A = this chain, B = another copy of it.
Amino acid sequence: MNKGKLLYEGKAKRLYATDDPDLLWLEYKDEATAFDGEKKEPLPGKGALNNAISSHFFALLTAHGVAHHFVKKVDGQSQLVRPVNILPLEVVVRAVAAGSICRRLGLREGWELPRPIVEWYYKDDALKDPLVTEEHIRLLQAAEPEQLQHMRREALRIYDILHPFLQRLGVLLVDFKLEFGINAKGQLIVADEVSPDTCRFWDVGSGQKMDKDRFRQGLGGTLDGYREIWKRLQQTAEGGAECTR
C-alpha cells in the first residue's frame, strides 16, 4: 500500500489517496494547534503518539461493534481509513466540566455532571466552530434529525465503552469530541481520531492533565501526557480486546 496524492490537509492530519479507492492514508502531523489555529507549535513525536493511541481506541471500538472509518495502522505516523463524507459537526460528550462549558455556564472545572451530555458544534473556521442547537443544525442542513439521533446514541455508547476502560487505567475521561461521516454504503460512522488532541484525560490520582489542555494552557510537558496515556494503553491487550471480556 502506497501513499498517493495529498487530498486534504487539516490542522493535525494529512489525508492521501492510495492505489485502492476504498482506502485512504491518514498521516498524523508533528504539530500542535489550538484556538482555531492561533496557537501553533511543532511537536516532534506527537504524530506517532496520536496515531498509536487513536489506532488503539478504534480497535477497542471495533471490539464493541462501533462502526468507524479506521482500518489499520501502517507506519509510525499513518493509518489506513475508509473514505467518508464528513458531516460539518463536532459531537462533544461531557461527563465532567472543563473547557468551554465552564466559561459558557460558569461551572467549576472538575464538577461531575449528573449524567453525560451531548453538545453539537458547527465546523466552520470563519464562524469559530459555534455551539449549535438541533434546530440550528436543521436550519443549516448539516444533518437530518435521524442522523442526530444516531450520532447522539453512538456518542453516549462510546462514552459507556471508554469511561470504564480508562478508569481501570487510572484515567478520568472528562470529555471528548467525535466526528462522523457517511461511507460508501451510506452508513453514518465515526471518523477522525480519538486521542489526547480530541479527549480530555485526567490522572485519577493526581488530577493531572494528560491531553491537549497542557498545550492550550501552556502547562509544559504536553507530550509527557500523551506518552503516559500511550504507556497505560499498552498495559491492556492490543486494541483493548481485554475490555470485551
A130's partner among B104, B117, B119 (CB-CB below 8 A) is B104
Which chain B residues border A106 with CB–CB below 8 Å?
A: 124, 126-127
* Interface residue A21 (Cβ < 8 Å from any Cβ of B): no
User: In whole Å, how far is A126's beta carbon from the nearest beta carbon of chain B?
Assistant: 7
Offer 19 A-B interface pairs, CB within 8 angstroms, sorted by A: A104-B127, A104-B132, A105-B122, A105-B127, A105-B130, A105-B139, A105-B140, A106-B124, A106-B127, A107-B139, A114-B139, A117-B133, A117-B135, A117-B136, A118-B135, A119-B133, A119-B135, A131-B131, A133-B133
Which chain B residues border A136 with CB–CB below 8 Å?
A: 101, 104-105, 117
**Quick one: copies of this chain in the complex?**
2
The complex places the Cα of A104 from the Cα of B131 at a distance, in Å, of: 8
User: In whole Å, how far is A56's beta carbon from the nearest beta carbon of chain B?
Assistant: 30
Q: 16 more A-B contacts (CB under 8 A) besides A104-B130, A105-B130, A114-B139? A: A104-B127, A104-B132, A104-B136, A105-B127, A105-B136, A105-B139, A106-B126, A106-B127, A107-B139, A117-B133, A117-B135, A117-B136, A119-B133, A131-B131, A131-B133, A133-B133
Q: How large is the interface on A (under 10, 10 to 19, 20 to 34, 35 or more residues)?
A: 20 to 34
Per-residue interface assignment for chain A, residues 136 to 151, with 1 indicating a CB less than 8 Å from any chain B CB and 0 otherwise: 1001100000000000
* Interface residue A113 (Cβ < 8 Å from any Cβ of B): yes
The complex places the Cα of A161 from the Cα of B107 at a distance, in Å, of: 38
The complex places the Cα of A62 from the Cα of B178 at a distance, in Å, of: 47
Which chain B residues border A140 with CB–CB below 8 Å?
A: 105
Using a CB-CB cutoff of 8 Å, which residues 58-109 of chain A contact chain B? 101, 104-107
Which chain B residues border A117 with CB–CB below 8 Å?
A: 133, 135-136, 139
The complex places the Cα of A117 from the Cα of B118 at a distance, in Å, of: 20
A117 to B, closest residue via Cβ: B135
Which chain B residues border A126 with CB–CB below 8 Å?
A: 106
The complex places the Cα of A139 from the Cα of B111 at a distance, in Å, of: 11
Which chain B residues border A130 with CB–CB below 8 Å?
A: 104-105
Which chain B residues border A119 with CB–CB below 8 Å?
A: 133, 135
